[in-house]
Amino acid sequence: MTKVFLKKQIQNRVLLGHPWVFGNEVAEIKGDVTPGDIVEVFTHKGIFVGKGYINPQSQILVRILTRDRNEIINDEFFYQRILKCWQYRQKIGYVENCRLVFGEADDLPALVIDKFNDYFVIQTMALGIERWKDAIVAALNRIFQPKGIYERNDVPVRELEGMQQQKGFLSAPFDTNIIINENGLKFHVDIVNGQKTGYFLDQQDNRREIRNIVKGADVLEAFCYTGTFSCHAGYYGAKKVLGLDISETAIQTARRNATLNGLDDICKFEAINAFDQLKQWTKEEKKFDVVMLDPPAFTKSRENIQKAVAGYKEINLRGMKLLKPGGFLVTASCTNLVNPELFLQTIDAAARDAKKRLKQVTFQSQAQDHPILRNIDNTTYLKFLIVEVS
């Protein structure tokens, strides 16, 4: 097996458990390099570190799958790993809809599998894991006997690995417009055309957190996408809810979700630029009891972090100004390049500029079915904050 030796001065991150080996961390490679193959990784002294798949085209040269030299990477390996993921989700109470596999946090780098009841959506975002896609599908069939499996590999990161973007059935074709249950409500999921894998499961725990603050409230949700937070607000007793999103398609789905849950009279939605509307209503001094902000990621590159921070500060400042005294701001960021500390600093800066005082109700991360490894920073990506604003 091809052997990869790490440089002495920068190998500690990998030794401490991070599964990524960058090209500039490698001192020497002994043996042939075939993209996607399994290789062994060693320290500069020749001490075994792990086995993983290699791709010279990627900045992440090797992604480590196991630290056990005796473990064989084969079809049974992937079956056992996915079974372990399922057993963990069952232990923590996620059995109907969940992120079954969360990449590096589940020791399956670059693999995402979302479970929507009896349907599964797969993303294989590195060449090495793409090679094992048939084994992964076979494992899902063996463990779950699913009604359908679909791949949503229409993600640009695949091109960095020398692969094409693609999507399609990995099982017999099925109706990809399904309905799931969440927190007592029902939601439409468009597996083929929805964002990411069709639905944002990572906020399912956080959506429950608004249940007390929205009772009898006049609620605004900006960047509402398909209206999941808005519908939760209506379900939890809001007087009226207005959701804004620039996507007409998303707004149509939001209206269908409201209808599905008998919330048409409470939840209204408008296809409009939320940035512009927040700015306009701030000038008009319009007020709400609760403002919810869950924008898309403002950056996917380190070069634009400051621009993203400025964007988060601006929308949160406007959100605070739109609140009645003692109102609640519900705000989130899914940009993994903006860490929790920077996110909170940005919210605090917005409060200073808005001359507001914040009282924290809760600060959380992604749902528990998206595990966080304490030694791998990038497994923590979602920030979710509720504050009282006065």
Cβ atoms < 10 Å from Cβ of 173: 9
Report the catalytic residues.
334
Phi, psi for residue 237 in degrees, rounded to 5:
105, 15
Distance CA 144, CA 85 (A): 13
- Give residue 34's region: left, alpha or beta (phi > 0; psi -120 to 50): beta
Sheet holding 240-245, edge to edge: 267-271, 240-245, 218-222, 288-293, 323-333, 383-389, 358-364
Rounded to an integer, what is the distance from CA 114 to the centroid of its chain? Answer: 11
Phi, psi of 242 (to 5 degrees): -125, 125
Half-sphere exposure of 302 (CA within 13 A, CB side): 0
Q: What count of residues does the chain have?
A: 390
| Distance (Å, whole) CA 207 – CA 74 | 39
- CA pair distance 286, 91, nearest whole angstrom: 46
